[in-house]
A and B are shown apart, each in its own frame.
Chain A
Amino acid sequence: MRALKKLFNTGILGAARGSRGVQRGMLVTGLILTGFFIIMAILAPMIAPYGFAQLQDSHGYFGAQQPPSSKHLLGTTVGGMDVLSRVLWGSQTALLVIVFAVVMSIFAGVILGLVSGYFGGWLDRILVVIADAVFAFPSLLLAIAMSIVISGGRSGLFTGILSTAASITAVYVPQYFRVIRAEALRCKTEAFVEAAKVIGASHWRIMFQHIYKNATRTLPLIMTLNASEAILTLAGLGFLGFGIDPTMGAEWGYDLNRSVADVSAGIWWTSIFPGLAIVLVVLGITLVGESLNDLADPRLRSRGAANLDELEIASEVSVA
C-alpha cells in the first residue's frame, strides 16, 4: 500500500512537472478542486455554521425553504435545515465513501487479478466470465441491489457509507481485475519471474512481490475513475431514496431528491448548491485522471509534452 501511494504521488507530481499548456491547466485545476474538496471534508465540523440535521438555534426554528440570507447564506431546505451546512457536511460523507470504496475495490480486484492471471486455468476462465457479466450490467441497478442487502435501504451514517462503498466495490472490482490480470499475464513470462522461481520463491511471493510491483502502472487512472464513479453512485442512490438517513448524515443526492418539488415552485437554492458540489468534486477528480491518461497515451500527449520514459523511471525508482 505504501509503495502504491508513493507511485501515485510521483505519478501525479511528475506529471504536473512534465505537462504543458491545456493539459497542465487541466491537471492543476483538477488538483486544486480535489484538494479543496478534501480540506472541506476534513474541516466540515469546524467551518459549518450549523449541524447537518439542526433545525433550530437559540432564536427558534430556521423555517423551511427560506431564501439565502445573512443568517443562512445559502437558504434552508424543505425540511428546514441549513443548506450551506449540509453541503459542507456532505463532503465528509462523500470523502469517506470514496476512501472505503477505492480501498476495498483495489484490495479485492488486485488479489483476484493476480491469482487469476498468474495461475490461469479454469479459475481464470470462470472469473473472467463473471467479471465481464458484472462489467456489462448497469452499475446503479447493481448498487441498488447491494444496498438493499446490506442495509435494507435507508440506514445510518456508517452502515450507509459502508453499504454504498460496498455497492461501488462490487461494480468496480471487475475493472481492477481486468487490468491487473492482463499485467500479470504479461509479467509472468518475463525473465525475472523465472529467475525468482529458480531461486525457490513461493507462488505467493512471486505474485505479491515481483508481479504486483510491475502491474500497478495503470492503477492511479482507474482509481480516479473509481473515485468519481463512487460519488455519482452515492448521489444516485441518495436521489432514489436509498442513501443515508438525513438525521444521520448529510448526503448531496438525498438533498437533490428533496428539492425536485422545490424546482417546480421556482425555489432554486435547495438544488443548485448540493448539485454544484457534486459536479465540482467529480470534475476535479476526473480532470486529474484525464490528464494522467493523456500523458500516458502517446497518441494523446501534447506535442512537446513530458518525456514519459523519465516519468516511468522516476516512479519505478521510487518503488524500489
Chain B
Amino acid sequence: MKFGFIKSPLLRYLVVRFLLIFPTIFILVSMVFFVMRAIGDPITAALGGRLTPTELARRIHLAGYDRPVFTQYLDYLGQIARGDFGRTLTTNQTIGEVLATYGMATVEITVYAVIVALAVGIPLGMLAAHRRDTRTDAGARLFGILAYATPVFFVGLLLKLVFGVMLPVLPIAGRASISNEMLLQTVPSPSGFYLIDALRTGDAGIIGDVLAHAILPALTLGLLTAGIFMRLVRTNMIGTLNNDYVDAARSRGVSEYRLVTKHAYRPALIPVITVVGMQIAVLLSGAVLTETTFEWKGLGFELAAFLNARDFVAVQGIVALLAVVVAVTNFLVDVLAAIIDPRIKY
C-alpha cells in the first residue's frame, strides 16, 4: 500500500491511517467473538438452571447458537458491518438502544474527567519541570505516582467518605436528584448530556444540582489521568527548557513565568495531544469502575450490571461497540496530531 498516486504526503498519510481503522476493528471484534464463544453458548450461561432443558434447547436453536461456530462468526461479522451489535438477553434491547440510553452519560463523565485532568495535570507538570529537583517537584511527582497507584474506585470511595459522609456537602450517587431527573426527561428531545439539558431548562436549581452530582465522579476519573498528563508535561517541558532558544529568550530578559507558559509550553504540549487519544482506553476502563462506584447510570454501569446478570451477549455487544469507539478516536487523534505537528513523519 504505497498510494503513490496521492501527491500530498499529509493526505496520503490520512488515507492510509483511515484504512488502518478497519483491520483494527476487525481484529478486536473477532477476538471478542471467539473469546466470548469459548465458554459455550450465552443462553445457557444466562438462563441455565432457570429453564427446562427442552426449553433451553429450543431457545438455543432459535438464536442459532447450535450452528457451527464459523457460520456464526460470518453472520456476526455481517451484522457488525451493518452496525447491528446484537440484542441483550436479559432486557431484550438492541445494543444500539442501550447505547442511545446510556452512552451520553458516559460521554458526559468522560468530558468532565478530561477537563479535570488537563486543568490539574498541565499546570502541575509545568511547575514541576520549572522547579525541577526541588521539593515542589518531588511533591508533584509523588502526586503523579499516587494518582496512578490508587485504584479509581478507591479514590471514589475516599471522596464519598470525606465529602459525602464526614462533611455531607455533596451528593454521592446518581447523576441528579430524582425529581430533577424526571424534569430533565421532559425537555424537548433531551440530549442525555444532563448539563446541556439543564442549561436548556434555564433553571439555576437544576443546573446546580446536576453540577453537584458531577463533581465527585469527575474528580475521581479525572485524577486518574491527571497524573499521567502531569508526568508527560514535566518530562517534555524539561526537554524543551534545555533548548537554546529558551536560554536566548532568558538572556533577553523574558520573565521565568513567561518562559514556562509561553516559550516552552507549546512544543511540550504536542505529545500531550497524542496521549489524550491513548488515554481514551484508560478512561473507558476507569469509567466502568467510576460509574459503578457512584451509580452513574452510563455504559460502564450497565456493563457491570450485565456482567452480574451473566448476559454475555450484551457484554459482547458493548465491548465490540467500545472497540469501534476506541479505533475511531485513535484515528481522529492521530489526524489532529499530524495536522498540528509538522514534525510528524508520514
Contacts and interface: CB of A to CB of B under 8 A. Distances in A.
A148 interface: yes
A268 B23 CA distance: 48
Given A241-B308, A263-B160, A286-B149, A129 B24 contact: yes
A282 interface: yes
B314 interface: no
A40 B323 CA distance: 39
B229 interface: no
A260 B281 contact: no
B157 A263 contact: yes
B307 A139 contact: no
Nearest to B236: A299
Given A140-B288, A236-B289, A279 B326 contact: no
Interface in B27-53: 27-28, 31-32, 35-36, 38-39, 45
Contacts of A138: 281-282, 284-285, 288, 322, 326
Contacts of B24: 129, 132-133, 136
Given A149-B36, A275-B151, A278-B154, A239 B289 contact: yes
Contact of B137 (A22, A136, A148, A260): A22
B316 to A, nearest CB: 8
A132 to B, nearest CB: 7
A146 B312 CA distance: 12
A44 interface: no
B90 to A, nearest CB: 15
Contact of B281 (A25, A139, A287): A139
A103 interface: no
Contacts of A256: 151, 153-154, 157
A123 B215 CA distance: 48
A137 interface: yes
Contacts of A22: 133, 137-138, 141
A152 B45 contact: yes
Category for how many chain A residues contact B: 35 or more
Interface string A139-180: 111001110110011000000000000000000000000000
Given A137-B326, A287-B145, A299 B238 contact: yes
Interface residues of B, number: 57
Contacts of B39: 148-149, 152
Interface in A104-157: 129-130, 132-134, 136-141, 144-146, 148-149, 152-153
Contacts of A278: 149-151, 154
Given A228-B149, A239-B289, 5 more contacts: A141-B319, A148-B312, A240-B292, A253-B151, A256-B151
A240 B28 CA distance: 22
Contacts of A236: 151, 153, 285, 289
A152 B288 CA distance: 20
B239 interface: yes
A146 B32 CA distance: 9
B106 interface: no
B100 interface: no
A209 interface: no
Given A22-B137, A145-B36, A299 B172 contact: no
Among A138, A263, A264, A268, chain B packs the most CB atoms within 10 A around the CB of A138
Nearest to A132: B24
Would you call the interface of chain B mostly helix, strand, loop, or mixed? helix
Given A138-B285, A236-B151, A239-B153, A145 B165 contact: no
Given A21-B133, A129-B27, A140-B288, A271 B157 contact: yes
A278 B157 CA distance: 14
Contact of B157 (A134, A149, A260, A290): A260
A293 to B, nearest CB: 10
A145 B161 contact: no
A33 to B, nearest CB: 10
B209 to A, nearest CB: 19
A287 B141 CA distance: 10
A275 B154 contact: yes
Contacts of A241: 304, 307-308
B225 interface: no
Interface string B294-309: 0000000000100110
B17 to A, nearest CB: 12
11 contacts: A134-B27, A138-B284, A145-B36, A145-B315, A148-B39, A236-B151, A260-B157, A282-B149, A283-B145, A290-B145, A299-B238
A259 interface: yes
Q: Which of B137, B154, B166 has the most CB of A within 10 A?
A: B154
Given A145-B319, A241-B307, A279 B149 contact: yes
A22 B135 CA distance: 9
A183 B166 CA distance: 53
A296 interface: no
A26 B304 CA distance: 37
B293 interface: yes
Nearest to A289: B145
A300 interface: yes
B116 interface: no
Interface string A228-259: 10001001100111100000000001001101
The 3 closest A-B pairs by CB, nearest first: A140-B285, A282-B149, A275-B154
Interface in B134-177: 137-138, 141, 145-146, 148-151, 153-154, 157-158, 160-161, 164-166, 172-173
B330 interface: yes
A200 interface: no
Contacts of A132: 24
Contacts of A268: 161
